[in-house]
């Protein structure tokens, strides 16, 4: 629970400084983890990006001041980080459904977003199999596409990438594969801020991990030296994968002494029938000790 307590202290710090630029160095000192890991864990545990939480909290406080003070709209806009009354009005109306001027009048409904507190629920003692692997720098070589994020079921854009692989390309890629995870893999990186609202995007690769280089039309992602947490998954696709993905962030990270670092999240699947109840996969996430 120490990690959750540190996360909540970080959220309290954010709430105390909503009228200022957030000092992420101070936030790192309070939470004892990197800005990157804090943002990833916040979005995974709360369901919204940190930037969206900050926006909602600022506009919630702004609404209170509009209805309870004589401050001008432009003064409140500046106070909560907006450079003009127009940009403030657009953001305010998107959240509250009315303009700041209307909010100063009686009878309009406004939305309140109270401060958030994270809680870790103990829902069972189901085991998770994982190992820590140290890897030197390597390349991921293959197809690349910027795709939309999909939480439930199969992502159609990613499925279409796999369909682009003909026998010749598959053999070319497998010839390049010379390190673990062996064979064809998927890798996701460069997530947008909206990753937990299913309206974000990411860079997705379908290819192989290799220390070799290639020329031609294939895309190359250079991955620096890192430690990796590797999670075993067995069960129907994609349900078993989605379950473990959620448990990694809600159970494993909060109870481990590791934090996620920037880098691709890699998925390896065993070459067998996707519908098999014993379908095997591995999830690779770059980590460091907290």
* Averages of pLDDT over each 10 residues, the chain, 290 residues: 89 96 95 94 89 94 93 94 94 94 89 88 71 96 92 83 92 94 95 64 95 86 96 87 88 91 94 72 94
The pLDDT score that the predictor gives to residue 274 is: 62
Tokens read off for 269 = 């699947």
In the chain the first and final C-alpha atoms are separated, in Å, by 15
Q: Which residues pair with 259 in a beta bridge?
A: 288
Prediction pTM value: 0.82
* pLDDT reported for residue 124: 54
Query: Whose CA is closest to 41, among 242, 256, 268?
Result: 256
Assign 149 to helix, strand or coil. Answer: coil
pLDDT at 66: 94
What's phi and psi for 261, nearest 5 deg? -120, 165
Identify the CA nearest to 212 among candidates 138, 136, 143, 268.
Answer: 138
Closest CA to 265 of 220, 289, 231, 238: 231
Q: Give the C-alpha separation, 280 to 271, whole Å.
A: 9
CA atoms within 13 A on the CB side of 281: 27
State how far the Cα of 234 lies from the Cα of 141, in Å rounded to an integer: 26
Per-residue model confidence (pLDDT) at position 82: 94
Q: Give φ, ψ of 142 to 5 degrees.
A: 165, -150
Quick one: pLDDT at residue 279? 85
Is the bond preceding 238 in cis, omega lying within 30 degrees of 0?
A: yes
**Whole-angstrom Cα distance, residue 116 to residue 285?**
27
pLDDT digits (tens, 9 = 90+) for 135-183: 999 999 999 999 988 767 778 999 999 999 999 999 999 999 999 999 9
Beta strands in 106-178 (DSSP E): 130-135, 138-148
Q: Is 39 helix (H, G, I), strand (E, B) or coil?
A: helix
């Amino acid at each position: 629970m120490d990690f959750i307590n540190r996360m909540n202290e970080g959220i309290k710090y954010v709430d105390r400084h909503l009228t200022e630029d957030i000092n992420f160095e101070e936030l790192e000192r309070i939470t004892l983890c990197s800005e990157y890991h804090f943002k990833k864990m916040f979005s995974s545990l709360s369901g919204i990006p940190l930037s969206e939480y900050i926006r909602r909290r600022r506009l919630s406080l702004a609404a209170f001041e509009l209805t309870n003070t004589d401050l001008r709209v432009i003064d409140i806009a500046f106070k909560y980080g907006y450079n003009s009354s127009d940009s403030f009005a657009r953001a305010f109306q998107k959240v509250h459904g009315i303009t700041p001027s209307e909010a100063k009048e009686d009878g309009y409904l406004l939305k309140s977003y109270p401060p958030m507190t994270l809680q870790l629920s103990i829902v069972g003692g189901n085991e998770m199999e994982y190992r820590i692997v140290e890897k030197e720098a390597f390349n991921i070589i293959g197809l690349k596409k910027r795709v939309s994020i999909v939480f439930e079921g199969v992502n159609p854009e990613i499925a279409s990438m796999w369909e682009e692989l003909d026998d010749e390309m598959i053999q070319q890629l497998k010839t390049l594969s010379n390190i673990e995870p062996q064979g064809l893999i998927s890798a996701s990186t460069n997530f947008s801020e909206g990753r937990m609202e299913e309206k974000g995007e990411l860079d997705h690769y379908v290819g192989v991990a290799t220390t070799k280089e290639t020329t031609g039309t294939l895309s190359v992602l250079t991955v620096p030296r890192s430690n990796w947490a590797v999670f075993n998954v067995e069960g129907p696709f994609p349900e078993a994968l989605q379950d473990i993905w959620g448990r990694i962030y809600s159970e494993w990270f909060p109870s481990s002494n590791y934090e996620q670092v920037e880098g691709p999240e890699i998925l390896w699947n065993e070459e067998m029938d996707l519908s098999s109840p014993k379908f095997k996969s591995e999830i690779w996430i770059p980590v460091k000790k907290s």
